[in-house]
Structure 1
């Protein structure tokens, strides 16, 4: 079941350059049928994902996985995304996966007639990337110079 472009907005915390935005991964068929906020895909979704992609790319680059993405984070209600913009949108997500960690979740082939499950997948991939990045940082601490061989006499 495809999502419809809409003008709805629901609560999520705005990102101010510090934290990953709240990803939406719990859309359901019932949301689409009820035509509630999660049943539409709109500028707020695009901005949230683009901001998250920019954020993850920055953190990965700082961690030694340089990646450059091109994002648009100022989508408005009156914008209608072109096919090229949506190809770039999905390319950025694939680029992050290929550069760092391929998620088990499938990236949609296209944004045309995107389903609620595919919309969930896009944001789950971002969460997976951030989760693996965090695990990598934890592993750095575990294998730091203070720990490795510290108990050998």
Structure 2
């Protein structure tokens, strides 16, 4: 399982969004999906957490990222969830509000499922041999 990477929740109009930021979103999507899998089955998601400077993102990639988040929230939608934009089109502007939405939604899911995962109690059974003493 990938490790949770602390999201950037405070985006401003002067901030720049780059491949590392989208890699963080994809990585955290994998982490949340893994946490959710402990509570039931989850629809298959596809992530691409290894972008470099040489990759150009297109509308279909942003739609995939947003659809992944939409799938992750199907079991539970936290208070404060910002509706996903799943209709990206070529040349549509991506700004700091979109960046904040992607990071914030994942953080809400992570803190909910991580808290529940940590609070989950385990029980088990010990089976001893039946040999004569």
- TM-score normalized by the length of structure 1: 0.67
Partner residue of 2:104 out of 124, 128, 134: 124
- Measured in 1, the distance between the counterparts of 2:118 and 2:84 equals 30
Gaps of 5+ in 1: 1-16, 33-38, 146-153
Gaps of 5+ in 2: 124-133
Q: Quote the residue 1:115 is aligned against.
A: 95
Q: How many angstroms does 1:139 deviate by?
A: 5.0
Cα RMSD over matched residues?
2.2
Q: Quote the residue 1:26 is aligned against.
A: 10
Check 1:128–1:117 CA distance in 2 against 1; reply closer, same or farther (3 A cut).
Answer: same
Check 1:137–1:73 CA distance in 2 against 1; reply closer, same or farther (3 A cut).
Answer: closer
Partner residue of 1:62 out of 30, 33, 38: 38
- Measured in 1, the distance between the counterparts of 2:108 and 2:27 equals 16
> Which of 1 and 2 has greater Rg?
2
Asked whether the 8 Å contact 2:11–2:96 carries over to 1, the reply is yes
Q: Quote the residue 2:70 is aligned against.
A: 94
Q: How many angstroms does 1:114 deviate by?
A: 2.2
| Bigger share in helix | 1
Point out which structure has higher relative CO (alpha carbons under 8 A, 6+ apart).
2
1:136 and 2:116 correspond: yes
Asked whether the 8 Å contact 2:82–2:101 carries over to 1, the reply is yes
Check 1:101–1:90 CA distance in 2 against 1; reply closer, same or farther (3 A cut).
Answer: same
